Amino acid sequence: MKAFSYVTAQTADSAVELVRDKGRFLAGGMDLLGEMKEGLVEPAVLVNVKALTGTREITTAKNKFSIGANVTLTTLAEHAEVRKLLPGLAQAAEEVGSPQMRNVATVGGNLAQHSRCWYYRQRDVRCVKKGGPRCFARGGENKYHSLFTKTTCLSPCVSNLAVALSALDASVVVQRGAKTATLTIAQLYETAWSDAKVHNSLGTDELILRIEVPVTAGARSVYLKIAEKNDFDWALVSCAAAGRVEGGKLRGVRVALGCVAATPWQMKEANAFLEGKPPTEENAAKAADLLLQGAEAREQNGYKIPIAKALVKRALAGLAA
Average pLDDT, the chain: 94
**Could you tell me if 227 and 192 lie in one domain?**
no
Is 220:244 a contact under the CB 8 Å cutoff?
Answer: yes
Is 146:265 a contact under the CB 8 Å cutoff?
Answer: no
**Could you tell me if 199 and 232 lie in one domain?**
no
Q: The domain that contains 202 carries what CATH number?
A: 3.30.465.10
How sure is the predictor about 231, in pLDDT bands with cuts at 50, 70 and 90? confident
**Could you tell me if 173 and 306 lie in one domain?**
no
**Phi then psi dihedrals of residue 16, to 5 deg:** -65, -40
Q: Give every CB contact of residue 32 below 8 A, 6+ residues apart in sequence.
A: 24, 26, 41, 46
**Could you tell me if 306 and 201 lie in one domain?**
no
How sure is the predictor about 62, in pLDDT bands with cuts at 50, 70 and 90? confident
How sure is the predictor about 123, in pLDDT bands with cuts at 50, 70 and 90? confident
* 33/54 Cα distance (integer angstroms): 25
196, 214, 232: which is the final residue of a domain? 214
- Give me the domain span that covers residue 255: 221-320
DSSP code of residue 288: H
Q: The domain that contains 229 carries what CATH number?
A: 3.30.390.50
**Could you tell me if 94 and 174 lie in one domain?**
yes
**Phi then psi dihedrals of residue 103, to 5 deg:** -70, -25
Specify if 163 maps to a domain.
Answer: yes
How sure is the predictor about 154, in pLDDT bands with cuts at 50, 70 and 90? very high
**Could you tell me if 84 and 165 lie in one domain?**
yes
Q: Which has more pLDDT, 236 or 123? A: 236
169, 191, 214: which is the final residue of a domain? 214
Neighbours of 290 (CB within 10 A): 19
Specify if 193 maps to a domain.
Answer: yes
Q: Is 280 exposed, middle or buried (0-12, 13-18, 19+ CB in 10 A)?
A: middle
Asked whether the predicted pLDDT for residue 79 surpasses 80, the reply is yes
214, 235, 251: which is the final residue of a domain? 214
**Could you tell me if 165 and 245 lie in one domain?**
no
Q: Which of 98, 95, 82, 74 is nearest to 163 (CA)?
A: 95
* 184/168 Cα distance (integer angstroms): 11
Is 189:148 a contact under the CB 8 Å cutoff?
Answer: no
Specify if 203 maps to a domain.
Answer: yes
Specify if 132 maps to a domain.
Answer: no
**Could you tell me if 201 and 308 lie in one domain?**
no
Q: How many domains does the chain have?
A: 2
**Could you tell me if 87 and 198 lie in one domain?**
yes
Q: Given the DSSP bridges, would you call strands 235-246 and 249-258 parallel, antiparallel or unpaired?
A: antiparallel
**2-58 pLDDT per residue, tens:** 899 999 999 999 999 999 878 999 988 788 888 898 888 899 999 999 999 999 999
pTM summary value: 0.95
DSSP code of residue 156: P
**Phi then psi dihedrals of residue 236, to 5 deg:** -80, -45
Specify if 123 maps to a domain.
Answer: no
Specify if 41 maps to a domain.
Answer: no
Q: Give every CB contact of residue 117 below 8 A, 6+ residues apart in sequence.
A: 127, 129, 137, 144, 145, 153, 154, 155
**Could you tell me if 243 and 193 lie in one domain?**
no
Specify if 270 maps to a domain.
Answer: yes
Specify if 64 maps to a domain.
Answer: yes
**Could you tell me if 273 and 164 lie in one domain?**
no
Is 288:312 a contact under the CB 8 Å cutoff?
Answer: yes
How sure is the predictor about 114, in pLDDT bands with cuts at 50, 70 and 90? confident
> What is the reported pLDDT for 9?
95
* 14/9 Cα distance (integer angstroms): 6
Is 79:90 a contact under the CB 8 Å cutoff?
Answer: yes
Q: Which of 214, 166, 164 is nearest to 187 (CA)?
A: 166
Is 154:135 a contact under the CB 8 Å cutoff?
Answer: yes
**Could you tell me if 257 and 169 lie in one domain?**
no
